[in-house]
Structure 1
Amino acid sequence: MPIRIPSNLPAQDVLSSENIFCMDEKRATQQDIRPLEVGILNLMPNKIETEVQLLRLLSNTPLQINVDLIRIDNQVSKHTSEQHMNAFYHAFSDVAHKRYDGLIITGAPLAHLAYKDVKYWPQMTQMMDWARRHVQSTLFLCWAAHAAMFHFYGKQRYLREDKLCGVYEHEVLHPKNELVRGFDSLFFAPHSRYGVISESDYETVDGLKVIARSEETGAYVVASDDKRMVFITGHPEYDPETLQQEYTRDLNAGLNPSIPINYFPQDNPTAPPLVRWRSHGNLLFTNWLNYFVYQTTPFDLEQLNKS
């Protein structure tokens, strides 16, 4: 089944070229089913790149999904045209009345800022609180996962001296959890971050469970028992070249970055990256949509947390 996205969104051409089924609003109105309503709060600088990555993963299910792209504030984006933002993004105030089956909050390049120094932290906390009342299941990615742990549970991250960057092997701790259904016992996933929250901090929160972890990266997949919140500390949505682009950017900026771990064959940055995370990335999003969203959400979204 397709994802429903705004007409003329640039991502549509990319996804169509990959034989991914998308439909615009006009065609979707002719479908006599109740689609899932999913919002994406996109905090990443390159909005279009992140849109493509996430929409690609959301499309890999038999469910029809209506997608709303949401912006945190009205600040001009440095890497995405205001024309694009005005055409395809909703201000939070315009969708605050809605209820969603699922919400994705992306990461953001804010590693060295204290949460309360982030210029949109008040809006961020407002939206996270809103999601607890208006969204069946919220998926927090990378920085957003740490921000949510701090906001809801007071768990502070610490910053590594060196950047955790590369593709790391992880182990599944709870294979019967639906979020990792179909996963291999060991699997790979990309990370690109300085922040770390210790596994013990996750484990001391009642109702949270570390589902997958790595010796190098710590907790990777964490979820609440009620399926309302999912914390992903890495980037399963990354394209094959994303870490390469980040490495080249930091190299050109004179930051002397380390070569991403387990990414280039023989650690040779001139060689094409070795891609070994995409199947589990797709499965993770498919499982979230199916078991944490579709199987648990009310048919009438107005009944969601009406109290």
Structure 2
Amino acid sequence: MNGKYYSSDWLQTRSIGIFVSAGLHLVLLGIILPKLSGEELLLRGKLRFRNIPLISLTSEQQQRLPETLQPPNPSVTPPEEIETILDSTPVFTNNLPPAVESTTETIPIPPPLDIPPPPPPPPVESLVPPTEPVARLLPVTPSPIPRELIEIINPREDFFNSPKVTEPMMIIPEPEIATQPEATPVDRENDLIASVQAKAESLKFDPSDTTIGERQANYERWISWQTDKNPQTIDIQGEYPLDACIKKIEGETVYGVLVNPTGEIVNLHLIQSAGYSLLNTQAVQQIESYNFSPSVAIQPYLITVKFTYNPDLCPSLSVSPS
């Protein structure tokens, strides 16, 4: 009995210890695990800002460390120290393996491919789609109008009973011709007097340029202006003007004339006067109507027009020249 008692008491004490130990472990796990998980998350978010503890090395450990070279500061290090550092810097040798020799010579080159040339492009005409024939529209014949509708629109006229309507005649006015205002009797009288005075002046004798000396001087002056010094001479019989019949005047007029290659007159110069402006004016009119032959260059002419009284052309009433 005593042995059973002690064994059961021991078992009871041991089971209590197991339960207490298990409970303590659960409490520790419940407290420590959330804290560890929170610190782990905090460390993940702030991994860059974690603190690294410093470790102090002993003199023996420092001797076993390899020697490291720090780059000199160009702004602080003097040039003498820079040369010393460069001389003490070990030269690194290239320990890379040798390059593999190219074996392209051993690789056979494939033969060239025989590619056929591309086919020629199709002609331009083949690209144009064939034009379809345009369907011709047949003329639409209008449907005939019923006769009853025609009678309503255009009733037949009773030509026997309906009075004849005469259309009014259109009178087209004749175009008005612009007429000059009629001259008054005073204007007509003044014009007549001016005409008589002009004819009287043309019948007056003017002795200028009528003598042989004046003729020679005028000719020499005119010929000096010309390139060709040998003018052609032409004699023309003057048409006697009727206004000269009343005084039976006569005379001879000489003009120096320049004619271009087409036969047109370029210049007229009086060499000798007939003594009357009426005969000089008549001579100029006959010279301008003369047909000159074309030439290569400008040709000078010396033309003489002679006027002689002709009783067959003049009326019977005449006055002897005074």
Q: TM-score, normalised by structure 1?
A: 0.17
Higher CA-based Rg: 2
Structure with the larger RCO, 1 or 2 (CA within 8 Å, 6+ apart)? 1
Q: TM-score, normalised by structure 2?
A: 0.17
Bigger strand fraction: 1
